[in-house]
């Protein structure tokens, strides 16, 4: 009798021998098993650090051309792309259109599963047209298994338009993507604790990579001073407090002076730092920053060292 070959060649769909008895494990054992699997994710991401760096350079290049970073994915992958894009404006003061997340099934798929949407190749191509993808853009497809039809079609359309493209996957992608994408980021986290549940290790790896990608690109653009978020948008009490504390630390002034400096700078923490450290007005601080390409360190000198212990 011939035994049928039921095994899926995709790494993310294979069974994990370490968790094959998880259904009879105690609650604490389940927690320990899942945690042990999660512990391997950071190493898998580190193994592709060179590819992530290459992708960051492509993103920076796109921004330099006046282009955008566009994430495209389905399911968990799409949600993580939209999440990372949505966090860039409050963190780095970027316009909402600079980093864009596209998810199969549209924004309703963020809160309600639309699993069938990932198979719609026509929708994948149309999504790139709706996002007005241009040659200056960098489009990153996110597909844990590497085979999502919506993502493959979107990347194909973006390539036809002339945009730079990349793929983030936790499994080996089809040859056509290997041959056509400008960069591949493939953190091999291995089989999931629950077979095929890529919201777990693959999802964690995806979030780590996206955080690194967007943060690295923004740092390269001068949107950090040391490790301080000087381009943040103070749209809440927490962020207003953070902005004032940043100016206090960088300029050695009290909270009242920091608040007045930010107000005089039109709400810009970055500008307030240059104004206070260089003892100049807003117009001169703007000139110094522009001359420095937006880098506060170049315009105002080194930031104060970190004091205390972690």
Catalytic amino acids? 87, 118
d(CA 205, CA 199): 10
d(CA 31, CA 286): 53
Burial string for 100-111 (b: 16+ CB within 10 Å, else e) reads: bbbbbbeeebee
Answer yes or no: are the C-beta atoms of 45 and 178 closer than 8 Å.
no
Q: How many residues does the chain have?
A: 310
CA angle, 242 as apex, 240 and 245 as ends, to 5°? Answer: 110
Distance, first Cα to last Cα, the chain: 63
Question: Torsions phi, psi of 71, nearest 5?
Answer: -90, 140
Answer yes or no: are the C-beta atoms of 138 and 59 closer than 8 Å.
yes
Helices within 112-200 (DSSP H only): 121-130, 149-161, 175-180
CA angle, 5 as apex, 41 and 203 as ends, to 5°? Answer: 20
Distances (CA, A) of 33 to 50, 158, 197, 229: 30, 40, 15, 36
DSSP class of 303: P
How many Cβ atoms from other residues are within 10 Å of residue 112's Cβ? 7
Which of 28, 32, 8 is closest to 19 using CA atoms?
Answer: 32
């Amino acid at each position: 009798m011939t035994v049928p070959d039921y095994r899926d060649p995709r790494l993310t769909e294979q069974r994990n021998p370490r968790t094959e008895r998880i259904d009879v494990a105690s609650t604490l054992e389940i927690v320990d098993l899942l945690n042990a699997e999660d512990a391997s994710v950071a190493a898998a991401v580190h193994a592709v650090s060179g590819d992530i760096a290459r992708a960051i350079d492509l993103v920076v290049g796109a921004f330099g051309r006046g282009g955008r970073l566009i994430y495209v994915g389905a399911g968990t992958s799409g949600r993580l792309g939209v999440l990372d894009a949505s966090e860039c404006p409050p963190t780095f003061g970027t316009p909402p259109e600079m980093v864009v997340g596209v998810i199969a099934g549209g924004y309703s798929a963020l809160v309600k599963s639309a699993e069938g949407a990932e198979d719609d190749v026509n929708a994948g191509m149309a999504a790139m047209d709706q996002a007005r993808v241009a040659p200056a853009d960098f489009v990153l497809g996110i597909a844990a298994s590497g085979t999502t039809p919506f993502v493959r079609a979107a990347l194909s359309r973006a390539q036809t338009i002339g945009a730079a493209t990349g793929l983030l996957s936790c499994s080996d992608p089809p040859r056509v993507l290997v041959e056509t994408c400008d960069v591949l980021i493939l953190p091999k986290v291995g089989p999931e604790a629950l077979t095929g549940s890529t919201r777990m290790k693959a999802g964690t790896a995806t979030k780590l990579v996206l955080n690194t990608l967007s943060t690295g690109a923004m740092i390269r653009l001068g949107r950090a001073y040391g490790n301080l978020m000087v381009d943040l948008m103070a749209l809440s009490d927490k962020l207003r407090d953070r902005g004032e504390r940043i100016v206090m630390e960088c300029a050695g002034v009290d909270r009242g002076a920091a608040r007045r400096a930010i107000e005089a700078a039109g709400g810009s923490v970055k500008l307030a730092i240059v104004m206070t450290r260089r003892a100049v007005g807003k117009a001169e601080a703007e000139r110094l920053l522009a001359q420095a390409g937006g880098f506060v360190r170049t315009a105002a000198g080194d930031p104060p060292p970190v004091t205390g212990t972690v």
